[in-house]
A and B are shown apart, each in its own frame.
Chain A
Amino acid sequence: MRPVAADEIESLAIGAWILGTGGGGSPYLALLNMRQLYRKGVVCRLMDAAELADDDLVAVVSNMGAPLVGQERLTDPKTMALAVTMMEEYLGRKFHAVMSLEIGGGNSIQPFMAAAMLDLPVVDGDCMGRAFPEAQMTSFAIHDLRMYPLTLADVRDNAVVVARAASWKWMERISRKACVEVGSIASTCKAPRTGKEIKECAILGSTTKAIGIGRAVQAARRAHRDPIDAVLEVAAGVKIFSGKIQDIARRTTEGFLRGTATIEGLDDFRGHTFSLAFQNEFAVGWLDGLPRVMTPDLICVLDTVSGDAIGTETLRYGQRVTVIALPAPPILLTPKGIEHVGPRAFGYDLDFRSVFA
């Protein structure tokens, strides 16, 4: 267990936004909350899963809802902590630590907000290794762990316990419905996990990985080096394409922001066209009409100059972007993993082929 410095949270925000693969929501508001808390003297602790006893209890937390609503309703540590303490009351047991549901985007920092309020350590890890839109797209679901109970709290003191759900999909449907009812933004504490489950089924070390990516970007900017090269180097990634956004088509269906971005190649990719399909996150990319990269490999779109991640909601005509791929956690690449988060889980009739294979 070690203390987390304020500047590591800054790095985490940058790295997690990149690991968000276009979704997960911007970490900015959660970062602002952490700055406020650190200013008041809070110091969070990060622990290795190995330090957990097998029967320790870990709260897996996330902010749920529409990122756009979050931009108005903001996010606060009290509500996040409330979802966790509600779960403790429901279980009649105390948690030993909190962990992030998804390291991609704002949910990377939510456990730190809860941890700060409850004086608990944060486990270095998550259960996606990136961002995904739905509850069944986690390493816990792939491992067939129990998906209930779940607690959900809003800022007005409305709270819901989903005591049971027949499947991950049902859990997603019921909790999503409750979330919409309270204004499409809520703090949630997912099914509690034992230390043993975390050690065996979580994606470990992803918090440290995100901090490392963020730190590499910051260092490159300070040294006037290419921040994208720095990301590729630190995260063992591959540059897929570089160009200018030519067209964006978006639509929402079944609560997803779906769409396609067309990128016209520049520099080394001049004369080529890349098209990138997204469902909240980037899902599949085609180079000149042929599949080039697909989920669960991480597809990240970065501002070519600054190296900042660009979300699916903020893609705009004319942006100069670089598409990179980062390796997915091994669990997502197993046959069961591909079933949950491979291209067919998003409706693309493609056999998964990793860029890193």
Chain B
Amino acid sequence: MYLTSCRAWLLGLIVLLAGCATPQQSFVNLPADYFGSGKGSIGVASTALPVPDTYFPGAHCLLCLATASMTNNSMTTAVRQWPTDDLKNLKEEVAALLRAQGQTVVVINEPIKVADLPARNAPQAGFAPKDFSSIKAPTKLDRLLVIEYRSLGAVRNYSAYVPTGAPRATFEAHAYIVDLSTHKFELYDMISRDSLVQGNWDESPKFPGLTNAYFTAIEEGKDAIKRPFLK
């Protein structure tokens, strides 16, 4: 029993150290002369659009989370019906900006599954932890711009069982350009946009104020993704 306990502690320590050893990616800005330096073709791809959902940070315990889910049931029902149509053309909009900068651009229509890509050996900060070779080979692209959607929907903060404020709409994505030969990040941007409701939020069943905040968060998120490519 003593040996079993030691093994459990050792395993936990290994997991903890492995997590600490994974390099944390920080922002990487495009160099000022990026579009004048003749870097070859660039693909524009994205992960699949997430289904909008509700999130309750602070409702840490299972019963807290169940209570929060139950008391916000009508809001969750409305949030899950929010459309994501405004994001469907984002790749084309980004591609147009890149073409205006003189780039040769290919839009990859199918969503890519970054999580399913194989991991690269010995990941370093500033380099993609995933191996994008399977995308480079068939497309012959030199670089890949990826819009990786993280979360979409509404967030309401909780202190255990009790909401501490009004819900707000949220949009989170990472946008990066990876050199497909070296896997170095030429751009890494982490976009997080929260939009507060103007006026009353609690307007069941459609929650129009919160819905308006959602569309605002999407527009602000799109602006942030496109900003590095504006002339």
The answer to whether A binds B is no
B-to-A contact residues, CB < 8 Å: none
